[in-house]
C-alpha cells in the first residue's frame, strides 16, 4: 500500500551496463534474490556507505575492494544481510566475490558484494555457489526492473527511476534502483541503491557528485529513525555515451548533478512512500532557521516523534504534538512567540499558541490528504531544510513484530 507510488516502467538501459537476476533460494518464497550488475571495462565507481559501527561484512568488503580496484561487477543478495556474522561473514562475502570473479574472468577485488535482509544469520553459501554461474548467461541491458524486484525485502513495490540530460550535445542517461522500507534515517539505512550512468566522470568528481546528491535525497528521509548495518549507495559511470569527461565545476557537470539529484530524490522518496505501514507521505519543512544544524534538528524531531506520527495516521490535526516536538528539539533560546507552524497552507500556531484564525476543520482538511506538508517557520535566520517521512500505523508494528515469523 505505497503512498502515491506504483510500479515504474520505462527504465532506460545505460550503455555499458548489463544486469541479471535469479532465484537462489535465499528468500523463503522462491522469488528472485540474487542480482548481478556488470560494468564494461573502464567504468568509474563511487560509493556511500552506512556509518553504523556494526557495519555488515559485505559493506566492509565492498569498501576495501572499491579502494583496491575499479569494480567490474556488483553482486547483491536479498533475504540475508550477512551482518553480525563476525569473521565467518567476512570470509563468506569474499567467497561470493571469488565465485563471481571466476564466472566473469575478472579479479576478486573487481567484485563488490551487497546484502540485505535478516541480520545475524550466515549466508547459505551452497545456494549462492549453485546460482552464481547462471547469472552471467542472463545478463541483459534492459533488466533494470527485474533487478529492482530482486533486491526487495519488506518493500511492496519495486523502486527504479531514469533521467537523461544533454551534455555538450551528447545525450547521457542515468538509471537507478533502490530498496528499503524500514530502518530508514539520515546517514543511509536498510537501504541499497545502485545508480549507473553512461556519462564519463572522473573518480573524484563522481564521488563528490554522489555525496552531494545523497545529502539532499537519501539523507533527508526517515521512516522509523533506525539505521541499518548494510546501507550503501553506489554510482557507476561507464563513459559509454562518448561525452567528454566531467572532472570539475562546469555547465555540463551542473546539468549532470541536477539530473542525478532528480533520480536520487525520486528513489529516496519512493522508499518513504513505501515505508513500512505508511498511509501518508509527509514533508516536514523547516524555514528561516539560524543554522542548517538546527533546521535539521527540528525537522527530524518532528519527523521521528511517535506521537506526531500516530496523529498523522489518525488524520488527527493534534497540532499540540507538533508544537511539543518543536519545543523539545533543543534549539537554544528559542523565542516561541516568533514561531509559526503550518499544516499545508493553514497556520495553526502563532505567538506561542493556537493561531486565532485557526479552526479544527481547517487542520482536519489538510490531515485527511495522503500527501501533506508540515511547515515550521522559526524566524531566526535564513537556513531551511525539507525531510520526508511517513505516519506510524498498526501495520508498521505488525510488519516489524512479525518480520521473522
User: Interface with a second copy by CB under 8 A: which residues?
Assistant: 51-55, 81, 83-89, 118-120, 182-183, 187, 224-229, 304-307, 310-311, 313-314, 316, 318-321, 323-329, 331, 334, 336, 349, 351-354, 392-394, 396-398, 400-405
94 Cβ contact partners less than 8 Å away, ≥ 6 residues apart: 61, 108
What gap in Å lies between CA 250 and CA 239, rounded to an integer? 17
C-alpha cell at 276: 513500512
List the catalytic residue out of 50, 173, 190, 279: 190
Q: How far is the first Cα of the chain from the last one, in angstroms, to the nearest whole number?
A: 21
* φ, ψ at 250 (rounded to 5°): -160, 175
E-strand ranges in 198-276 read 221-222, 232-237
Q: Which residue, 119 or 150, has its beta carbon nearer to a second copy?
A: 119
Q: Provide, rounded to whole angstroms, the least separation between the CB of residue 349 and a second copy.
A: 7
Residue 246 near residue 205, CB atoms below 8 Å: yes
Residue closer to a second copy, measured from CB, 173 or 315:
315
CA distance 372 to 369: 6
CB of 82 to a second copy, least distance (A): 10
- Let me know the angle formed at the C-alpha of 235 by 271 and 56, rounded to the nearest 5 degrees: 65
DSSP 290-332: SSHHHHHHHHHHHHH-HHHHHHHHTT---HHHHHHHHHTS--T
CB of 233 closer than 8 Å to CB of 261: no
Q: Reduce the DSSP state of residue 249 to 3 states and report it.
A: coil
Q: At its nearest, how many Å lie between a second copy and the CB of residue 324?
A: 5
- Compare residues 45 and 343 and give the one whose CB is closer to a second copy: 343
- Structural contact between residues 38 and 104, judged by C-beta atoms closer than 8 angstroms: yes
DSSP string, 53-71: TT--HHHHHHHHHHHHS--
Cβ proximity to a second copy: between 72 and 354 the closer is: 354
The least distance separating a second copy from the CB of residue 257, rounded to whole angstroms, comes to 28
Closer by beta carbon to a second copy, 216 or else 307: 307
Q: Write down the least CB distance from residue 337 to a second copy, Å.
A: 8
Active site residue 238: no
Nearer to a second copy, 247 or 334 (CB): 334
Rg of the chain taking only CA atoms, in angstroms: 22
Please give the grid coordinates belonging to residue 377: 517557520
Query: Could you give the angle at the alpha carbon of 101 between the alpha carbons of 95 and 104, nearest 5°?
Result: 145
- Which of 310, 384 has the CB closer to a second copy? 310
Nearer to a second copy, 163 or 279 (CB): 279
CA–CA dist 228, 64 (Å, integer)? 19
Q: How far is the CB of 175 from a second copy (least distance, A)?
A: 30
- 112 and 234 in contact (C-beta within 8 Å)? yes
- Least separation in angstroms between residue 52's CB and a second copy is 4
Three cell numbers written together for 288: 528561516
**What span, in angstroms and rounded, lies between the C-alpha atoms of 174 and 162?**
6
Residues forming the active site: 190
Amino acid at each position: 500500500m505505497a503512498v502515491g507510488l506504483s510500479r515504474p516502467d520505462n527504465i532506460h538501459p545505460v550503455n555499458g551496463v548489463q544486469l541479471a537476476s535469479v532465484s537462489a533460494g535465499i528468500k523463503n518464497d522462491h522469488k528472485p534474490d540474487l542480482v548481478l550488475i556488470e560494468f564494461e571495462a573502464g567504468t568509474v565507481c563511487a560509493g556511500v556507505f552506512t556509518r553504523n559501527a556494526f557495519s555488515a561484512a559485505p559493506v566492509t568488503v565492498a569498501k576495501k575492494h572499491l579502494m583496491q580496484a575499479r569494480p567490474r561487477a556488483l553482486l547483491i543478495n536479498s533475504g540475508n544481510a550477512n551482518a553480525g556474522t563476525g569473521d565467518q561473514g567476512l570470509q563468506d562475502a569474499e567467497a561470493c566475490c571469488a565465485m563471481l570473479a571466476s564466472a566473469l574472468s575478472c579479479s576478486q577485488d573487481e567484485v563488490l558484494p551487497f546484502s540485505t535482509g535478516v541480520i545475524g544469520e550466515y549466508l547459505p553459501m551452497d545456494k549462492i555457489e549453485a546460482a552464481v554461474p547462471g547469472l552471467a548467461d542472463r545478463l541483459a541491458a534492459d533488466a533494470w526492473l527485474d533487478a529492482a524486484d530482486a533486491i526487495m525485502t519488506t518493500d511492496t513495490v519495486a523502486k527504479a527511476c531514469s533521467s537523461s540530460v544533454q551534455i555538450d550535445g551528447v545525450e547521457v542517461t542515468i538509471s537507478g534502483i533502490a530498496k528499503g522500507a524500514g530502518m530508514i534515517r539520515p546517514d543511509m539505512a536498510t537501504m541499497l541503491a545502485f545508480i549507473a550512468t553512461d556519462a564519463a566522470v572522473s573518480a573524484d568528481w563522481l564521488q563528490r557528485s554522489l555525496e552531494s546528491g545523497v545529502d539532499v535525497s537519501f539523507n533527508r528521509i526517515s521512516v522509523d529513525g533506525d539505521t541499518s548495518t548494510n546501507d550503501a549507495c553506489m554510482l557507476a559511470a561507464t563513459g559509454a555515451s562518448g561525452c567528454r569527461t566531467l572532472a570539475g565545476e562546469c555547465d555540463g557537470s551542473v546539468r549532470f548533478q541536477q539530473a542525478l539529484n532528480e533520480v536520487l530524490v525520486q528513489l529516496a522518496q519512493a522508499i518513504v512512500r513505501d515505508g513500512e505501514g505508511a498511509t501518508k507521505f509527509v514533508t516536514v519543512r523547516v524555514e528561516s532557521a539560524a543554522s542548517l544544524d538546527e533546521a535539521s534538528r527540528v525537522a527530524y524531531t518532528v519527523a521521528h516523534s511517535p506521537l506526531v506520527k500516530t496523529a498523522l495516521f489518525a488524520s488527527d490535526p493534534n497540532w499540540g504534538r507538533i508544537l511539543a516536538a518543536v519545543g523539545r528539539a533543543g534549539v537554544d533560546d528559542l523565542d516561541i512567540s516568533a514561531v509559526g507552524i503550518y499544516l499545508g497552507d493553514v497556520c495553526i500556531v502563532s505567538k506561542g499558541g493556537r493561531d486565532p484564525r485557526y479552526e479544527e476543520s481547517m487542520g482536519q482538511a489538510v490531515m485527511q490528504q495522503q500527501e501533506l506538508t508540515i511547515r515550521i517557520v522559526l524566524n531566526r535566520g535564513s537556513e531551511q531544510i525539507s525531510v520526508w517521512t511517513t505516519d506510524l500505523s498498526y501495520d508498521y508494528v505488525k510488519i516489524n513484530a512479525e518480520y521473522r515469523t
